[in-house]
Amino acid sequence: MGKIIAVTNQKGGVGKTTTAVNLSASLFAIKRKVLMVDLDPQGNATMGCGADKNQLEYSVYDLLTGRCAITQAIIKKTAAGFDLLPANADLTAAEVELMSLENRENRLRDVLSTVKEEYDYIIIDSPPSLSMLTVNALVAAQSVIIPMQCEYYALEGLTALISTINGIAGGANPKLKIEGLLRTMYDPRNSLSKDVSNQLVSHFGEKVYDTVIPRNVRLAEAPSYGLPALIYDRKSRGALAYLALAGEILRKSRSQHAVAV
């Protein structure tokens, strides 16, 4: 049965979409069946997988508002290799429409439950805000990956995000937990980066991934070609870092399963 992970941060520009796309590609590269869900109205993750957000017959908007079945909305075997539930600007309207619908917080969870067993991992790219779409992502997910830049305001935003996650875990989704904190766009030459990184490890310990995503030109270039970095330049530092992250996630998952058994 698939594990559903939401990639979430209420702060924009932290590498959230880059992480969702490249982690999905890396899990797929190591023979896992992956569905990526683009839940951001900007549709950047959709474009980063090689799909044209302006030419979609159906999108996650149609799915959440009951206009289509999930099998109609999924794009099979994108240019990135894995399956995709795409998004575009239509999703902005879902924010308003969901408020008047019954069971609005559970819409995404309900539709993903029908395909969950077909995948090893379902990765959700959440919007950079606390909205009904983000709530849907957190209610649907079993865990959360929080990408973070190691900068001054990062810790302040993290407090608010953790409060939101705890609120969802205390109500609509008791199984929700933090999968891990991921340091992104990391520059080891920057003393502030190192200071914030050390604070994260001090506060959150093993919840901070050992893998660190560096600042990397190839990671920044890849979306303009509609490809994950792993396909655009497999040997780039960014691609290798996300492969390492996928490996770390699998190792932790096996370890947790062994403990549970």
| Structural domain of 114 | 3-260
Rounded-to-integer distance, Cα 138 and Cα 122, Å: 13
Nearest to 87, CA basis, from 33, 44, 123:
44
Domains of the chain: total: 1
For the chain, how many residues are written? 261
What pLDDT was estimated at residue 259?
A: 52
- pTM of this structure: 0.94
Name 50's Cβ contacts closer than 8 Å, sequence gap at least 6. Answer: 78, 79, 80, 226, 227
**Residue 1 binned pLDDT confidence (cut-offs 50, 70, 90):** low
Question: In 37-69, which positions are buried (b, 16+ CB within 10 angstroms) versus exposed (e)?
Answer: bbbbbbbbbbbbbbbebeebebbbbbbbbeebe
- Those residues with Cβ within 8 angstroms of residue 198's Cβ, 6 or more apart along the chain or in another chain: none
pLDDT recorded at residue 151? 80
d(CA 152, CA 148) in angstroms, rounded, equals 11
Per-residue pLDDT tens digits for 186-235: 888 888 888 888 888 988 899 999 999 998 899 999 999 999 999 999 99
| Beta strands across the sheet bearing 83-85 | 83-85, 34-38, 121-125, 3-7, 143-149, 177-186, 208-214
Neighbours of 118 (CB within 10 A): 13
Summarised one tens digit per residue, pLDDT across range 16-27 is 999 999 999 999
| pLDDT given at position 261 | 44
The string of pLDDT tens digits covering residues 91-137 is: 988 888 888 877 889 999 999 999 999 999 999 999 988 888 999 99
Q: What CATH number is associated with residue 148? A: 3.40.50.300
pLDDT 10s digits, 143-192? 999 999 888 777 777 888 899 999 999 999 999 999 999 999 888 888 88
Percent of the chain at pLDDT exceeding 70: 97
> What pLDDT score was predicted for residue 254?
79
- Specify which of 14-18, 32-36, 62-66 reaches the highest per-range mean pLDDT: 32-36
| Mean pLDDT (the chain, rounded) | 90
C-alpha triplet 188, 9, 255: angle, nearest 5°: 75
Could you tell me whether strands 121-125 and 3-7 are parallel, antiparallel, or unpaired per DSSP bridges?
parallel
Q: Which H or E element spans position 218?
A: helix 217-221
